[in-house]
């Protein structure tokens, strides 16, 4: 089964609808009013079923979403229609963004870049830098090494085969230094962490969240 088929299976029985609170805070902190967002192009990279694509569109951005899963994109299109919102959706891998250089004012890569090995993450970081305008903002999360949810480790250290709903998916656990190296060339605004537990606190999920800016 290929990567596309694995993601199609993942999205066939899962559809998140509500945006992350951290994403909402990031948007409000940088663009407090709808007028300040008018006309800005915002990319939801690895949009899945579109929870953040819909949020960006309803908040006044010109929203775009890309994903490798056709089922995820179909879910996102349906969600947009249900919410009376519009966005441009395209099929693509994270490391091959189908837009020209200096196109976006904002890129959101939430809970997506860690699905691959470290070299994949470096390629994604380069693509994000390419498509962001000078002065554009990035908000990105990296699953961290304090996470106790990994499956079987691969030949590359800290890269794992997923389990419990992520079977067949490859993901990499980052430390702070690695995460920042993916964002080479960016100005780092801040680095923070978020944590959550599941199954009566038996499973810890933790990630870095980083706001960055492409220099003028």
- The pLDDT score that the predictor gives to residue 41 is 98
Please tell me the chain's helix, strand, coil percentages from 3-state DSSP, rounded to the nearest 5: 30, 30, 40
Region 99-106 average pLDDT: 98
Per-position DSSP letters for 169-209, written without gaps between them: -EEE-B-HHHHHHHTTTEEEEEEEEEEEEETTTTEEEEEEE
- The pLDDT score that the predictor gives to residue 1 is 47
Q: What is the CATH number of the domain that holds 130?
A: 3.40.50.150
- The pLDDT score that the predictor gives to residue 164 is 65
- The pLDDT score that the predictor gives to residue 15 is 66
Q: How far is residue 15 from each of residues 71, 79, 105, 162, 201, measured CA to CA in Å?
A: 10, 10, 27, 19, 23
Rounded to two decimals, the pTM is 0.91
Question: Which domain does 179 fall in, by range?
Answer: 3-214
For residue range 134-162, what is the model confidence (pLDDT) as tens digits?
A: 999 999 999 999 887 667 888 888 988 87
Q: In this structure, what token pair is assigned to residue 85?
A: 């919102």
- The domain tally of the chain equals 1
Decide if pLDDT at 133 tops 80: yes
- The pLDDT score that the predictor gives to residue 33 is 82
């Amino acid at each position: 089964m290929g990567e596309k088929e694995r993601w199609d299976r993942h999205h066939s029985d899962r559809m998140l609808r509500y945006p992350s609170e951290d994403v909402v805070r990031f948007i409000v902190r940088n663009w407090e009013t709808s007028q300040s967002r008018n006309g800005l192009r915002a990319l939801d990279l690895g949009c899945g079923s579109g929870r953040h694509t819909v949020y960006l569109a309803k908040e006044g951005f010109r929203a775009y979403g890309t994903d490798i899963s056709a089922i995820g994109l179909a879910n996102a299109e349906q969600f947009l229609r249900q919410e009376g919102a519009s966005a441009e959706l395209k099929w693509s891998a994270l490391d091959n963004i189908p837009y020209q250089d200096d196109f976006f004012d904002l890129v959101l890569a939430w809970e997506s870049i860690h699905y691959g090995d470290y070299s994949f993450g470096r390629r994604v970081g380069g693509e994000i830098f390419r498509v962001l305008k000078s002065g554009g903002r990035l908000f990105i999360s990296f699953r961290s090494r304090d996470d106790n949810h990994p499956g079987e480790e691969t030949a590359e250290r800290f890269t794992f085969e997923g389990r419990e709903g992520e079977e067949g998916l490859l993901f990499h656990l980052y430390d702070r230094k690695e995460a920042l190296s993916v964002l080479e060339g960016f100005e780092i605004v801040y680095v923070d962490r978020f944590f959550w537990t599941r199954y009566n606190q038996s499973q810890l999920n933790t990630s870095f969240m980083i706001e960055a800016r492409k220099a003028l």
